[in-house]
Each structure stands twice: as structure tokens, then as C-alpha cells.
Amino acid sequence: MTVTTYQVEGMTCGHCVNAVTQEVSKVAGVSGVEVDLGSGSVKVTSAAPVDAALIGAAVEEAGYELGGTVELLPQAGGSCCGSGGCH
């Protein structure tokens, strides 16, 4: 499992969060989306890495702009390090 965090520019309210969540959720391979309005970040969970261009297109479809990738964390056994002790 892979978790990639992106920055999204222009989100200002709950409607923004819903629009981005809905569009990114439609991208093939995406199994989870968590949007944090305060930080302007979108955490995308997938079985394998998803092309950032596809995420960018989904964010643009929602009416916002992708600011870039913050981090890419491969996950084994449901945690970032495989030990299950991450928080």
C-alpha cells in the first residue's frame, strides 16, 4: 500500500474539501482520500503509486490546483515502517 500526500492550492471551505475528495476518489487505483483543509493537503492511499498527473487532473476538475507532492510513503502491514508501531 502507498500513501502519497499532495498540496492543493485554493481550498477555503468544506465544499472545497468535498469537491476534491469526490474527484480524487474517482481516479483509478485510489482506495482512500483524506483532505485536510487547514494544511491544504490531500492524502491519497492506493495499492500502488498513482501517477501524480492523474491526481492533478482530478484536483483541477474539482476547481483547484495541485501544488506538488509532499511525501510518498510505501506501507507494509498497514504501517509506514511495517512494525505496526507507528503513530
Q: Please write the tens of the pLDDT for every residue from 24-39.
A: 999 999 999 999 999 9
- Contacts for 5 with CB less than 8 Å, ≥ 6 apart: 41, 42, 43, 44, 69, 70, 71, 72
Walk across the sheet containing 2-9 and list its strands: 30-36, 41-46, 2-9, 65-74
Q: What is the pLDDT of residues 5-29, one digit of tens each?
A: 999 999 999 999 999 999 999 999 9
Q: What is the pTM of this model?
A: 0.79
